[in-house]
Amino acid sequence: PPAGAPGAWGGVRRRCQRLLYWVPVLFISSILCWSYYAYVTQLCLLTMTNIGEKVVCLIAYHIFFMLFVWSYWKTIFTLPMNPSKEFHLSYSDKESLEREPRGESQQEVLRRAAKDLPIYTRTMSGAIRYCDRCHLVKPDRCHHCSVCDKCILKMDHHCPWVNNCVGFSNYKFFLLFLAYSLVYCLFIAATDLQYFIKFWTNGLPDTQAKFHIMFLFFAAAMFSVSLSSLFGYHCWLVSKNKSTLEVFRAPIFRHRTDKNGFSLGFSKNLRQVFGDEKKYWLLPVFSSLGDGCSFPTCLVNQDPEQASTPGGLNSTSKNENHLFPAKPLRDSQSHLLTDTPSWSETSAKAEKGKVGMNNPALTMENET
């Protein structure tokens, strides 16, 4: 667009916004660079007098520093994964969706498109989860990020401190970033404490190192408190196989809402994020199970022949054993269900008058 046109100003504004999004990352990076100088130069090289203490502290510090920077880098620059092409509507389905009035006719189009997809969750009204910005049927646990303006697989949240969405592709890296940043801060605070006390009580002469060592302790202690609460919260999420978004809005399955619908037990939940090979657990390399589009669930797995019943509900309750869900999971996910002899679940009885997927009054609900 020519200079001064609304489109040109819009492009400039978007570029400025993208630059501003990097400010928190630059802030963390500058704090990290200063802490390196303060700890290595001012504390270890210029203040510590014991050679053995210097060597041990420098070796341990650089190990924690490397793991911290590595995991932070991976969290920032690992691109969030988006739904695969099988979840995007075909050209004919898009045209049909645009022609049909909002309501049951649109849901019929979406049901046809999602017929062979491994989808178990619904909107609050029981409709197929559809993104009208990306034009795709949303996989389970997928949400549209308003900042990235795209659908993110197993989205947890958009984190300004890494200028990236935290989701399936980098959630393990984000956890390790929290863990190693906490260890980094605790190590600095523990080894800096005695010198902080000496400077505070005038046990050491005033030098240039005094400011760096005292402020280093305050910064490490302050970040340790905030990081410990955040890391503890995400450890709890991993143990329950939940995302931050699912804590605030429990996933709604075809038969009912269940806040623990994806939980398979502590051990299997841990393997969902960290993988089966323990040698990779502490390294910021991708080892999570699956492809982010399908997930094992502990809930009843509906019989495909009953997909046409209202709301995906059966008129009578039943107990059945299923080795696999009705719609296929990826190979790396389904083995979590077959570790035990079988999964025995009970479906809920349909409530009278409950709004179902075939209710003519049903309107399509778009989630973000």
Active site residues: 159
Q: Can you tell me the distance from the alpha carbon of 71 to that of 237, in angstroms, rounded to the nearest whole number?
A: 19
- Report helix, strand or coil for 361: coil
DSSP code of residue 204: S
Which amino acid belongs to residue 180? Y
Long-range interactions of 105-110: CB distance < 8 A, separation 24+:
106/364, 107/357, 107/362, 107/364, 110/137, 110/364
Q: Per-residue b/e over 290-305, b at no fewer than 16 CB within 10 Å?
A: bbbbbbbbbbbbbeee
The continuous run of DSSP H or E covering 286 comes out as none
Cα–Cα distance, 224 to 249 (Å, whole number): 29
Q: Give the C-alpha separation, 347 to 302, whole Å.
A: 8
Q: Which of 213, 226, 227 is closest to 35 using CA atoms?
A: 213
For the residues of 96-127, what is the DSSP string, one character each? HHHHSPTTHHHHHHHHHHTTTS---EE-TTSP
Nearest to 237 by CA among 275, 288, 273: 273
Q: Which helix (H) or strand (E) holds 43?
A: none
**What gap in Å lies between CA 238 and CA 241, rounded to an integer?**
5
Label the pairing between strands 143-145 and 150-152.
antiparallel
Coil, strand or helix: which one is 28?
Answer: helix
* Distance between CA atoms of residues 225 and 220, nearest Å: 9
Among 116, 142, 105, which Cα is nearest to 307's? 116
The tokens for 227 are 């990081």
